[in-house]
């Protein structure tokens, strides 16, 4: 019960509305989901020319597959049920299936008609969604490295591929930066959960502040880059 109360007091959980609404929003970890989406936007914006519908598509894909489905799977797959039992396994399974159905329907459309190279990325991300969150193979993929690859590097490459149906050295290099940022974020996040469980308020506040800076700076950078490319194309 302590874990539930701790989670409800997280800075990204709304302090208003019905309890299931608050849990649902909190369960999506919006600042960190926003980081992942931001990497996909940055990857898209590295392309020489921009198809704006594809940016919207990649945002929806990662919001549904990661923000909703992956976190529903995480709550089902975790031994500790970090968000408690407010949602039944059936409800979580519905979230998982609906999120994936929307994400893969959009992805399939672009794969078939425009970007076949997106297919291996879709397969990889689907694999990591289940392998990471359900801790398959004794949790082999449930660690910081695979998190940083699947939440950082691959989304950035997915954004670039979505625009160009190709890869080049620049997005590959920038994907290493996305990896490093994601690795640092998940490393701090795990420490944050430990000190919060230990009720070390000073350390938890310090780590919470650092997590806010990392996530919000990443999101702000992607928005700034997006505006820059928009004005660059317009003028």
pLDDT category of residue 82 using cuts at 50, 70 and 90: confident
Residue burial 39-68, b: 16+ Cβ < 10 Å; e: rest? bbbbbbbbbeebbeebbebbbbbbbbbbbb
Could you tell me the pLDDT band of residue 217, with boundaries at 50, 70 and 90? very high
49 three-state secondary structure: coil
Give this prediction's pTM.
0.94
Across the range 186-210, mean pLDDT stands at 91
- Residue-wise pLDDT for 14-37, tens only, equals 989 999 999 999 999 999 999 999
Look at residue 121 and tell me whether its pLDDT is greater than 50: yes
Report the C-alpha gap between 41 and 38 in whole angstroms.
Answer: 5
Residue 64 is encoded by which pair of tokens?
A: 């549904």
Q: Could you tell me the pLDDT band of residue 201, with boundaries at 50, 70 and 90?
A: confident
The tens digit of pLDDT for each residue in 36-72 reads 999 999 999 999 999 999 999 999 999 999 999 999 9
Range of the domain at 13: 2-234
Q: Structurally, how many domains does the chain consist of?
A: 1
pLDDT top residue among 82 and 49: 49
């Amino acid at each position: 019960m302590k874990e539930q109360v701790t989670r409800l007091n997280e800075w990204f959980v709304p302090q208003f509305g019905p309890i299931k609404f608050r849990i649902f929003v909190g369960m999506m970890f919006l600042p960190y989901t926003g980081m992942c989406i931001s990497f996909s936007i940055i990857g898209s914006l590295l392309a020489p020319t921009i198809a704006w519908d594809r940016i919207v598509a990649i945002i929806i894909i990662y919001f549904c597959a990661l923000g909703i489905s992956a976190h529903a799977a995480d709550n089902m797959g975790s031994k500790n049920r970090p968000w408690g039992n407010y949602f039944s396994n059936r409800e979580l399974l519905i979230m998982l299936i609906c999120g994936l159905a929307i994400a893969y329907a959009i992805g399939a459309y672009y794969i078939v008609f425009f970007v076949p190279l997106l297919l291996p990325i879709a397969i990889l991300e689907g694999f990591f969604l289940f392998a990471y969150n359900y801790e398959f193979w004794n949790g082999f993929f449930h660690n910081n490295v695979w998190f940083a690859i699947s939440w950082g590097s691959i989304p950035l490459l997915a954004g670039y591929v979505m625009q160009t149906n190709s890869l080049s050295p620049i997005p590959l290099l920038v994907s290493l930066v996305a990896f490093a940022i994601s690795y640092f974020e998940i490393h701090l996040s795990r420490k944050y959960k430990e000190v919060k469980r230990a009720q070390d308020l000073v350390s938890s506040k310090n780590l919470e502040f650092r997590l806010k800076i990392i996530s919000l700076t990443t999101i702000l950078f992607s928005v700034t880059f997006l505006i820059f490319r928009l004005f660059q194309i317009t003028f």
